[in-house]
Structure 1
Amino acid sequence: MKDVVNQLENDGFVVLEDFLKPEEIDELRGAGEEFTTNLPPEKDRKIFNTVDQQQSKDRYFIDSANKICYFFESEALEDNGSLKVHPRVSLNKVGHALHWLHPVFKKYTFSEKVKEIAFQLELIEPAVCQSMYIYKNPGIGSEVVTHQDASYLYTDPVKLIGFWIALEDATRDNGCLWIASSSHKSGVHRRYVRNRDPLAEELLVYDRPAAYYQESSFRPIEVRKGTCILLHGQVVHFSKDNKSDRSRHAYTFHIVETHHVNYSRNNWLQPPKEGFPLLYTN
């Protein structure tokens, strides 16, 4: 485990192969696919797209922090909310409180494996702040633009770790992660915050223009299903759109240190009144 700690400090990410067993993958996949059989009514269907940032104007997105909410691919919906595609391949993601409100995702998020990693990383009072089931469907799975997770879930100091678990093989063809090694050492470049202007149309805004990253700085992280990629909150990464005929399902969640660490009140995602659920006590 010492190698994991050192690698996270040096590279900003760690690849943990065989993190989940085949039957565990199947259970998470089954739970994720269940969401596609009980979609919200047409009038309540919302698109998620990191390129156009349509969610910046959407109260539904802000209110999803402590709920289970559905977000669709832009190419999956007509203007009236009816589907252009089969329901099974219509969703972009479901989030952001799966870890607490859904028994299957809660079981794996608060597993002994996860707790052991947090312990080895010397996190004293880690809490789970958000979770998502990501579909990356064949043909219409949209890209996720270059970003740092700390831009959205900022803490002072930055004590944020992402767990990105592949539930299917992730390759260049179907939209694997691309990561710039050691990019976490350059600080937080941009923050996505709640708009202080009550009259503005945009509910969420970036506090500064996007930083420019050379594509040559990134390398594809192709992994087999069951692999967990640990992501430092400041490491820069992205994923391309999925134009292949194979989906790339993943389950991801983030933990933040709460001991002597301030979680920003300006973050789009805010904890419930009782606070984020602590990892070690659940």
Structure 2
Amino acid sequence: MKLARFHNGDGVVRVGRIDGSEVVDLSGVEGVGRSVREILPHLPALRDAILAADGARHPLDSVTLLAPIDDPQKYLAIGMNYAEHAEEARQAGIPIPTSQFWFNKQVSCIGGPFDPIVKPDISDELDYEIELGVVIGQQCKHVSVEDARSVIAGYFVTNDVSVRDWLAKRSPTFTLGKSFDTHGPIGPWLTTDDEVADPLALRMRLTVNGEVRQDFPTNDMIYNIYEQIAYLTQVMTLMPGDILATGTPSGIGAPTGKFLRVGDVVRAEIEGLGAIENRVVAEG
């Protein structure tokens, strides 16, 4: 199933189930509040009630879709996890790591699937990165590669928006350059794991003003999503709602200098998971 957060113009945030071109309000389902994250540990028990719910229906084009997970404890992203992208990053002056390379995106960067991306006044190196977002469904530690899929709640589209000069020049870590406000649009909804036959066989496609910039399958990851979860849980406990951005393919703007400008429209789509679309706007 596909779970979304939305409001229909009255300012009240609701959780809904996507049903074709409509969203079904789940407010009447006991145990469902206004947070998708809070549902995740109880999803197996709530599944039947959610699928059977027949609350108010709203056409998708009449509501505002919000970030499906707006309150994760952690938002972690892996760098240079596609071979061709690692090479283009090297050409941009970033050394290729010899093991999994993780960094934080501060959760305050999260934005909705159709919210604007703000271009900061302090940089002209605003870049895009389509990524498969993985959402953890249960508290877990020391997870094996073989068991890793069992802790995944679902997936969505992410754009790991990056301010390149703050990655390489203004901070010794990636965190600041990856964490500007609005630089973490996600969505359009959470597609639960049971609906995805193979998350390592999905096509990702990103366009800027209709021009294809990135077009790659998820099976080209250097470290697949199960290896990523096993690696991270050697170090930390992952919690329900934690977001993992699992790497971007080649085609980013940095090697060619084709950075985002005010007015650009960035569309990121992953097969079976939907699309997010964000316009770049000026700060202030």
Choose between structure 1 and 2 for higher RCO, CA contacts under 8 A separated by at least 6 residues.
1
**TM-score normalized with structure 1 length:** 0.24
**TM-score normalized with structure 2 length:** 0.24
